[in-house]
Amino acid sequence: MNNKYKMRAEQFLRGVYGGDPSVVDNLAAEEMVISYPVFKKIYGTYSICGREAVKKFAIQFAKRFTEGQVTLHELIAERNCVIIVWSFCARDTASAGQNSGSNDFQSWGGITLYRFDDSGKIVLEVGEESEPGPFGRLERTYKQH
């Protein structure tokens, strides 16, 4: 069972953040919730609730961040939950025309927890993200010591 959840969590993360929002229809429960601290700044709320809202988010994300590359560093599964340590890099189309340059690549990382319901659908994605990602911070720490 844990391997099935790992595969679904990986497929969902790669799809939503890598430009394939169709995974939402296939893997998300109707009442799914996604929550990250950065959402408060962007959307005025910490969470996106409901499959249709999650799909809308995935479509908007794919339009803004193109050429997305998701790297999974660690997957841990326990009962109906999967934790993924990940990093992400993509071209930010919103930076076009700004002083920072045109279509700059952005990167960050994080840790995300997925929880599944009894039917195997994802009901919760909650995470923390940072720049650099967790492994980037560790790499910098080890180089300093």
| Total number of domains in the chain | 1
Q: What is the largest CA-CA distance in the chain?
A: 49
Q: 22 pLDDT exceeds 80?
A: yes
Name beta bridge partners: 66: 91
Report pLDDT digits (tens) over 33-67.
Answer: 999 998 888 888 999 999 999 999 999 999 988 98
Query: For residue 87, what pLDDT is reported?
Result: 92
Report pLDDT digits (tens) over 83-123.
Answer: 999 999 998 888 655 545 555 888 889 999 999 999 999 99
Structure tokens at 90: 């993509």
CATH code, domain carrying 49: 3.10.450.50
Name beta bridge partners: 139: none
Asked whether the beta carbons of 68 and 89 are under 8 A apart, the reply is yes
CB neighbour list of residue 42: distance below 8 Å, 6 or more residues apart: none
Range 120-142 average pLDDT: 75
Range of the domain at 117: 2-144
User: CA 84, 28, 14: angle at the middle one, nearest 5?
Assistant: 40
Per the prediction, the chain carries an average pLDDT of 87
